[in-house]
Amino acid sequence: MPDEIIKQSVDFSGWYQSVVQRAELADYSDVKGCMIIRPYGYALWENIQRDMDRRIKETGHENVYFPMLIPERFMKREEQHVEGFSPECAVVTHAGGAPLEEPLYVRPTSETIINATLSKWIQSWRDLPMLINQWANVIRWEMRPRLFLRTTEFLWQEGHTAHETEKEAREETMRMLDVYRAFAEEMLAIPVVTGVKSDNEKFAGAVNTYCIEGLMRDGKSLQAGTSHFLGQNFAKAFNVQFQSREGRLEYAWQTSWGVSTRLIGALVMTHGDDKGLMLPPKIAPVQAVVVPIYRKEDQKALVLGEIAKIRAEFGADVRLKVDDREQYSPGWKFNEWELKGVPVRIEIGPRDIEKGQVVMARRDTGEKAFVPRAGLKQAVLDALDAVQKGLYDRALKFRQERTTDAADYDTMKRALDETPGFIRASWCGDAACEANIKTDTKATIRAIPFDQPATFGPCVACSKPGKHQVLFA
RNA sequence: CGGGGCGUAGCUCAGCUUGGCUAGAGCGCUUGGUUCGGGACCAAGAGGCCGAAGGUUCAAAUCCUUUCGCCCCGACCA
């Protein structure tokens, strides 16, 4: 991506939209802000889902499914939650050909309906911890939709847990945040910062919101997942009570956490380049594509025969796609698969078969090399590992280059202008000061990282004593 | 909701200022042939109520009025 594109977010936004559509991940639908996820994009989501689901189950959670429609009275029970979500809710007022007595809210998230049920499921300390998760769609009526990043309807997983003690619930909040961090780094090759949100940015109804934040190639930060410590807020609003070991009636301590189809947007914006997507092998729907090259019919039979053998050798170890479409030339296919971000490409023609070799090309470096036919499978597996690691290292290096330590406001402003990225700076902890900075520079506090220094300088903006070291972007 | 811009072929758009002939281009699509190791070429085709309604005029994609829809920039956000 040329530097000027990184600097001008408008162009970056155009690049993003164009790549998502041309790579056949998704399109806008006729319903404003809603997205049609195409087969290639959905295959990507399925791979994310499969691995994340495994991680969620390994940490002891079970899947459930709750209704999409929530009675209005549930939505109004938790005060902050109502305030935060009411403006962006879609509400069903008519059904069965008549007005409804009680409007039904299409879920923007499921805390309310799930807690209404947990109050029935939970009676005793023996019922705790209650650890559930659901894969679902939710609707939030956003003003400015963008494919995958902010659509009216999106797919996600939302975990909801209830615990005996505050300590247990806090541990769960951190455990799931770390599951997200590990997933982002290991599978998506996106290095992320973990931290806590300032009060302005936290979830409506939470005591604390923790997040993973990745730095995109335009220098903007993207929240890729959140884990909330809910305290007893929802338990009190929905009467989620249990009888403790001591026989007292107590409110449960709760958490909720989620990641969404936004991860796909993060993937595109972290790793993409001028040629299109660049998908980490572990999550790519197609890990290696084979492009056959031939002219005459007898060559075609020879090449396709050899490819059939390769396919059999690879079996389930590599997600392999053979592009045997007749209507496109090899050069056209190279470009198409680069646009779609396939990590490794194999070219094979009559000359290669004669010499007992194939051509293997890497999407991330563009390297093209002859590989002996006999060692092909191992070479591909090695290349996939190398691409996975290469993408992570490159993204980490980019983040490091784009993280500026700012002791004073001028340094911060200059960095935002010249090398947009994370600004590491001291902050006084005052919400009004945070709001001023946002009005002045458009930068917001993305996270208060867990890694904190021993001492703080004065607040970067107002010069009052610093309370936290924060990341602006 | 404020400020800009755009609606013409499946897609991207030209034409409109200064009204006039059968409404155009590129890409894509169909058929045939030659091609195929980095987005091939030739030939022949298919495809339009020029966003909608009303008005001015001998004549409207073009001028006027109204209306609907979409995109971009701000307030919201996983």
Tens-digit pLDDT profile for residues A409-418: 999 988 888 8
How far, rounded to the nearest angstrom, does the alpha carbon of residue A438 sit from its chain's CA centroid? 24
Residue whose C-alpha is closest to residue A265's, from A8, A11, A45? A45
H or E element, residue A47: helix A39-58
Q: Which pLDDT score, from 0 to 100, does residue A86 have? A: 87
CA-to-CA separations, A123 to A118, A165, A174, A261, in angstroms, rounded = 9, 15, 26, 35
Q: How far is the CA of A24 from the C1' of B25 (A)?
A: 27
Q: How far is the CA of A260 from the C1' of B36 (A)?
A: 42
A152 closest-nt by C1' vs CA: B77
3-state secondary structure of A154: strand
Where do runs of H (alpha helix) occur along A86-151? Answer: 111-121
Give the mean pLDDT of A175-192: 98
Q: How far is the CA of A21 from the C1' of B50 (A)?
A: 27
A260 closest-nt by C1' vs CA: B78
Where do runs of H (alpha helix) occur along A322-365? Answer: 330-339, 350-355
Distance between CA atoms of A38 and A42, rounded to whole angstroms?
Answer: 6
CB-contacted nucleotides of strand B (7 Å): 1, 29, 35-40, 69-78
Q: Is A466:A459 a contact under the CB 8 Å cutoff?
A: yes
A154 closest-nt by C1' vs CA: B78
Q: How far is the CA of A7 from the C1' of B5 (A)?
A: 23
Give the mean pLDDT of A291-295: 95
Q: Which pLDDT score, from 0 to 100, does residue A401 have? A: 94
Q: How far is the CA of A444 from the C1' of B13 (A)?
A: 39
By CB atoms closer than 10 A (0-12, 13-18, 19+), residue A90 is middle
A260: left (phi over 0), alpha (psi -120 to 50) or beta: beta
A359 closest-nt by C1' vs CA: B37
A155 closest-nt by C1' vs CA: B78
Q: What are the phi and psi torsion angles at A413 (to 5°)? A: -65, -40
List, for residues A427-448, the tens digit of each pLDDT value. 999 888 888 888 888 889 999 9
pTM score of the predicted model = 0.95
List, for residues A56-69, the tens digit of each pLDDT value. 999 999 999 999 99
Q: How far is the CA of A65 from the C1' of B46 (A)?
A: 50
- Helix-, strand-, coil-residue percentages of chain A, each rounded to 5: 40, 30, 30
